[in-house]
Amino acid sequence: MNKLVWTLPVLLLASCAPMQQGMQEQHDAPPQAHSQVPAPAQQDGSWQALPYLAPQRTVTFARAEQVTEPGKQYRAVLNTSRGPITLELYPDKAPQAVNSFIFLARNHFYEGTRFHRVIDGFMAQGGDPLSADLAQQAEWGTGGPGYSFRYEVDSGLTFNEAGVLGMARSASPDSQGSQFFITLAPASFLNGQYTVFGRVVEGMDVLRALTKTSASGPYGEQPIAGAQADVLSSVTILTR
């Protein structure tokens, strides 16, 4: 993918704009061994953790298999190096995005990836498989799952508050893949341009505590020297 130019005040939430070099990382330990059944999340007793679909991490697919079921509710617990963030997902409003996210999570796709782009007062972006590898830091922000799909816009869903979960993409509306973002503040200028597929229901304090890796200024977005991107160690999918 070609590198995109970031502009203000509307910052394109691209899944193909590489991180700039020079940012140091401390989370260089390899992901831990995988188990077939995720560790129980602290949730209401009616929520059940779904098992993984594979014994180990897989990062390339031809397409997302259908894994969501009609009538089911879904949540995702992002187990980060700062603590857990629980997301309510919207399978009825953004079925492709939710199905793809759950499919990838149940294949360990997100394990060891980083929140490679976090901007104070804007959003936290993650989901790039390349961000699990320090050797590929120059390419962080360009990775995906091997397939892409079209954005899903619902007029009833907006980015008008903090904690909204959206899909990152490039300029093409057909370029959604694995990367996602969560707003840290209202971002109404994104309305109608990006898929909303969930929201934070627990862990807003954890979200706000994520290390800020970039800053916006009069000359565009710049990396923060010495910033150390936080790790997404695993994603637990819950259903009821």
pLDDT digits (tens, 9 = 90+) for 176-211: 999 999 999 999 999 999 999 999 999 999 999 999
Q: CA-CA distance, 27 to 34, in Å (whole number)? A: 18
Task: Supply the pLDDT for residue 17.
Answer: 42
Percent of the chain exceeding pLDDT 70 equals 82
Q: Which CATH code is given to the segment(s) 73-239?
A: 2.40.100.10
Task: Supply the pLDDT for residue 25.
Answer: 31
The answer to whether the beta carbons of residues 195 and 97 sit under 8 Å apart is yes
| 3-state DSSP assignment of residue 205 | helix
The answer to whether the beta carbons of residues 20 and 233 sit under 8 Å apart is no
The answer to whether the beta carbons of residues 118 and 124 sit under 8 Å apart is yes
pLDDT tens-digit series, residues 26-66: 333 333 334 454 554 455 679 999 999 999 999 999 999 99
pLDDT tens-digit series, residues 89-109: 999 999 999 999 999 999 999
Mean pLDDT of the chain: 87
Among candidates 115, 194, 126, which has minimal Cα distance to 160? 194
**In the predicted model, is pLDDT for residue 11 greater than 80?**
no
Among candidates 36, 68, 53, 34, which has minimal Cα distance to 239? 68
Token pair for 2? 């070609």
Given pLDDT bands bounded at 50, 70 and 90, which one contains residue 218? confident
Tokens 């057909």 found at: 174
Q: Give the domain ranges of the chain.
A: 73-239
Tell me which of 22 and 75 has the higher pLDDT.
75
